[in-house]
């Protein structure tokens, strides 16, 4: 079953987190430290809330676009709570106000309106719990006092207006009474004056009734339905939210740094890096040892899978594979040695040829002193049968070293006799494995693609880079080489670019045998 693009993306991020976990953990720790510092240094703020139920006092508070369509517009009332007039009243109610001016005191107030209610939640914030409680209570009382005063002034204005109308109507009624006395009874003039006077009297009676209602009306601006309480804990900083936000921010910063460093790091790590370059990773990866003996080599499942993946692609008429490392190091020679040994363990007769002009692992591992190598064969100084030797510990594995004296060089591998020599070598075994120098150092692998059926590209983990792989791919594409696949190899133990001394090599070979 193939993975979807989303699965691959999640797997990539998971691998990135495993590689760069120190950055992510460091970011989280920095976030925790920042949260602790903020909790310790930020001033604590306490809030207390008083709830006021607003009642109508007779005026029509509906406005176009307002939240309510009833007699009271609560949006307007919320602004009145924070007005200077209410703040002045609240300032006078506080024994020790936290601000000297009304405007400064009003900045500590927030007002909210619960949906579908006639309630104002008046919240006051302060650095002390008691100040917060006193401030909320003072603004609630000041708001009701201001609302009651405004309503009283409105009623007084209405009473005064009614009295003025009554005075005018009564004066008119007195004038009509005088006209009625002087008019002849029963005449049209007397009837008209009588009708006007009756109408004025009705208006006077109506205004008198209205005046009585205004004087008798009880003004109830509202009431406090929830008293302000002393807060038990600060509203800010909010410790859980602060901790969570700082930890998430630290994680995000660490993760972004990990992604950035990962983008800047072009080293090859796993098979996904090979796939992104268009290569076919034959196995998840192999792990080899710099010092392990051939008889104890990594003939584990990954090496067996690599063997099977290669053998199925090799033709019967020329079963030869070129093992080409993309960068300097031990990965290429070790993969060639262990691959040949794994193939030999399956019953095949395998010939391992070291055509590596940079490093001959066979000369380092085994006693090849006095034995001719590939360089001697190419120069015509020795025959193939004289250079082939059985590898100790493996009955089916034969080998030819490149030449312990370093006589093998790139020009020698480009001679006319190369094809004939490798054709004869192919007759000596069922399968031939050819170890060549890294493509980043020279073009030996490119020169030898004609003597092999295909190429196995080896990328040493955390050593080979994407540019190394691009160079290797370009070299093989230019000569129409068949790339069988690629593998990421991790080498444990001693890792060095320089050659070890002859004495150290002999001592290690003696230990291996």
Output DSSP code: residue 247. Answer: H
Tens-level pLDDT at each residue, the chain (513 residues): 344 444 446 667 777 788 788 889 999 999 999 989 988 888 889 999 999 999 877 554 443 334 544 567 889 999 999 999 999 999 999 988 888 899 999 999 999 999 988 999 999 999 999 999 999 999 999 999 999 888 888 888 888 888 888 888 888 888 877 777 777 777 787 788 788 888 888 888 888 888 787 676 667 788 999 999 999 988 888 888 889 999 999 999 998 998 888 788 889 988 988 998 999 999 988 988 877 655 444 447 889 999 999 999 999 887 999 999 999 999 999 999 999 999 998 999 999 999 998 888 888 888 888 889 999 999 888 999 999 999 988 889 999 999 856 678 878 888 788 999 999 999 999 999 999 999 999 999 999 999 999 999 999 999 999 999 999 999 999 999 999 999 999 988 644 433 333 343 334 333 433
Instruction: Quickly count: other Cβ atoms within 10 Å of residue 403's Cβ.
Output: 25
Pairing relationship of beta strands 46-54 and 222-226 according to DSSP bridges? antiparallel
3-state secondary structure of 407: coil
CA distances from 90 to 83, 228, 429, 494 (A): 11, 14, 103, 81
Question: What pLDDT does residue 78 have?
Answer: 92
Q: What is the pTM of this model?
A: 0.60
Q: Give residue for tokens 């066979």.
A: 362
Instruction: Quickly count: other Cβ atoms within 10 Å of residue 239's Cβ.
Output: 13
3-state secondary structure of 232: coil
Question: How far does CA 509 lie from the centroid of its chain?
Answer: 51
Q: How many CA atoms lie within 13 A of 96 on its CB side?
A: 6
Question: What pLDDT does residue 364 have?
Answer: 86
Within 8 A by CB and 6+ apart from 2, the residues are: none
Q: What is the dihedral of CA 504, 506, 512, 513, to 10 degrees?
A: -160
Q: What is the DSSP string of 262-312?
A: HHH--B--SHHHHHHTT--BSSS-EEEESS--GGGS--SHHHHHHHHHHHT
The span from the CA of 321 to the CA of 451, in Å, is 9
Q: How big is the chain by its Cα radius of gyration, in Å?
A: 49
Question: What pLDDT does residue 349 have?
Answer: 95
Write out the two tokens for 271: 């098979």
Within 8 A by CB and 6+ apart from 331, the residues are: 288, 325, 458, 459, 460, 461, 463, 464, 489, 491
Question: What pLDDT does residue 436 have?
Answer: 95
Cis peptide before 237 (omega within 30 of 0): yes
Which of 143, 126, 224, 54 has the alpha carbon at shortest distance from 134? 126
Phi, psi of 476 (to 5 degrees): -75, -30
3-state secondary structure of 433: strand
The span from the CA of 292 to the CA of 365, in Å, is 10
Q: What is the dihedral of CA 479, 480, 482, 486, to 10 degrees?
A: 60
The span from the CA of 319 to the CA of 327, in Å, is 25
Computed from CA positions of residues 467, 468, 472, 478, in that sequence, does the dihedral angle turn out positive or negative? positive
Write out the two tokens for 8: 């691959």
């Amino acid at each position: 079953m193939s993975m979807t693009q989303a699965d691959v993306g999640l797997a990539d991020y998971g691998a990135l987190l495993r590689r760069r976990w120190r950055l992510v953990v460091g970011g989280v720790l920095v976030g925790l430290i920042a949260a602790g510092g903020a909790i310790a240094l930020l001033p604590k703020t306490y809030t207390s809330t008083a709830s006021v139920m607003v009642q109508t006092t007779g005026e029509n508070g509906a406005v176009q676009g307002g939240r309510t369509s009833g007699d009271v517009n609560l949006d307007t009332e919320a602004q009145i709570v924070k007005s200077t007039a209410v703040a002045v009243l609240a300032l006078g109610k506080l024994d020790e106000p936290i601000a000297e001016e009304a405007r400064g005191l009003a900045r500590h107030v927030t007002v909210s309106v619960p949906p579908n209610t006639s309630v104002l939640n008046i919240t006051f914030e302060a650095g002390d719990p008691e100040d917060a409680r006193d401030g909320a209570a003072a603004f609630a009382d000041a708001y009701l006092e201001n609302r009651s005063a405004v309503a009283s002034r409105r009623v007084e204005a209405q009473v005064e207006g009614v009295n003025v109308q009554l005075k005018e109507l009564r004066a008119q009624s007195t004038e009509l009474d005088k006209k009625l006395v002087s008019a002849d009874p029963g005449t049209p003039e007397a009837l008209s004056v009588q009708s006007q006077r009756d109408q004025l009297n009705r208006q006077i009676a109506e205004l008198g009734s209205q005046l009585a209602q205004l004087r008798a009306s009880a003004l109830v601006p509202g009431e406090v339905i929830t008293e302000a309480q002393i807060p038990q804990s600060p509203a800010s900083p909010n410790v859980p939210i602060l901790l969570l936000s700082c930890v998430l921010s630290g994680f995000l910063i660490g993760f972004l740094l990990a992604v950035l460093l990962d983008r800047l790091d072009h080293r090859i790590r796993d098979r996904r890096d090979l796939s992104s370059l268009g290569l076919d990773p034959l196995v998840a990866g192999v792990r080899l040892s710099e010092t392990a003996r051939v008889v104890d080599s990594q003939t584990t499942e990954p090496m067996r899978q690599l063997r099977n993946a290669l053998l199925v692609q090799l033709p019967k008429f020329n079963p030869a594979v070129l093992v080409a490392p993309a960068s300097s190091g031990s990965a290429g020679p070790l993969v060639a040695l262990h691959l040949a040994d794994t193939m030999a363990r399956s019953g095949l007769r395998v010939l391992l040829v070291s055509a590596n002009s940079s490093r001959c692992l066979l000369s380092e591992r085994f006693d090849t002193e006095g034995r001719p190598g590939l360089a001697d064969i190419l120069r015509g100084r020795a025959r193939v049968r004289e250079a082939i030797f059985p590898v100790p510990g493996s009955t089916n594995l034969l080998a030819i070293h490149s030449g312990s004296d370093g006589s093998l060089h790139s020009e020698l591998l480009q001679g006319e006799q190369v094809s004939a020599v490798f054709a004869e070598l192919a007759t000596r075994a069922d399968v031939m494995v050819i170890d060549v120098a890294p493509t980043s150092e020279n073009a030996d692998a490119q020169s030898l693609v004609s003597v092999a059926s295909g190429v196995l590209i080896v990328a040493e983990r955390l050593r080979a880079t994407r540019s190394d792989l691009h160079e290797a791919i370009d070299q093989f594409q230019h000569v129409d080489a068949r790339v069988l696949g690629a593998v990421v190899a991790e080498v444990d133990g001693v890792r060095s670019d320089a050659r070890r001394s002859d004495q150290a090599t002999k001592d290690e070979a003696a230990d291996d045998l």
